[in-house]
Amino acid sequence: MQQNSPNEAGTRVSGVRKVLVDSDRAGQRIDNFLRSELPGVPKGRVYRLLRRGEVRVNGGRIRAEYKLKEGDEVRIPPARINTGAAPPPAKLAAEMLDRVIYEDKRLLVINKPTGFAVHGGSGISHGVIELLRHARPDLKELGLVHRIDRETSGCLVMAKRRSALRELHERFREGQVEKNYLALAVGDWQYGEQLIDVPLYVQNRKGGERHVIVSSKGKEAQTRVSLSRTYGVYSLLQCAPVTGRTHQIRVHLQHAGHPIVGDERYGDEAVNREARKLGLQRLFLHAQSIAFADDSGNELHFTAPLAEDLEAFLAKGVIEAQRQKKRQSR
């Protein structure tokens, strides 16, 4: 990929900087800290800076998982950073703001539409975070509590304060968050309630694309799956990930022999082609709900209504698929 020239609008080479960590940023991992301090720098470049020892904390080398402490002095080396790419379309930013389903002084939760990455990078100019920050300048510290795939719609939780972000990241690590997804899978699910417990391994392909496979070399991954409704040709499943691996639900259902309808990477090509003819133009995976305790111990539970296009496919496309199957069996 062609590098931006030094004078290209929207970027500049920053000089060496030393940043003193305050109480609000204490506890943050150094890699996440650097990504916020070096906007637009690819994640791989950030990790190379750490491995080469170009980033120093209190004069010493550190690993990517190092957690900053109040009073730490971080030396940040020169790097080409974004100085402000073209702002996102105002209409798009306003529409994302309309997706907010909950907000308080610490949190913001949206019903993310399909087709939007949670943040920019890797050829994506504006993700959910950038759109919301543009629509609301007071949200400049907005941070992702977790991630969902670009193709997936539904509940996405963000923190408005770094203290809330640290706290919620800890809850995720300790398994204190309950997430539930709705997935329309191929075929008639016959397993009742099942725990899919197979390790997942991430393969890095050319161009930075990640592809996940079931492999003993991978990390532990568990998903609880239960049947919500069967349509014969399809099954509507409730999926609760116990762990949070990349593409976990998609690969686990593929492994079980019931890939998600509309999944172009892990799905059934013939089924997807027929589903497109019947009106489904995307992955049928929706982050339906998420629940966790707040800083006072009160249980918070958020639900995102199923997207209109998915509702429409359940109402019309599934029925037509059933009719076609009956005609074929005669």
Q: Which active-site residues does the annotation give?
A: 149
End-to-end CA distance of the chain: 55
Beta carbons of 317 and 302 less than 8 angstroms apart: no
Beta carbons of 313 and 293 less than 8 angstroms apart: no
Helix (H) or strand (E) holding 13: strand 11-14
Beta carbons of 62 and 29 less than 8 angstroms apart: no
Q: What b-and-e string marks burial along 159-173, b requiring 16 or more CB atoms within 10 Å of the CB?
A: bbebbbbbbbbeeee
Beta carbons of 67 and 28 less than 8 angstroms apart: yes
Name residue 82's beta-bridge partners: 11
35 HSE (CA, 13 A, CB side): 16
**Tokens found for residue 34:** 């650097």
Residues 6+ apart with CB under 8 A from 92: 126, 131
Name residue 236's beta-bridge partners: 184, 229
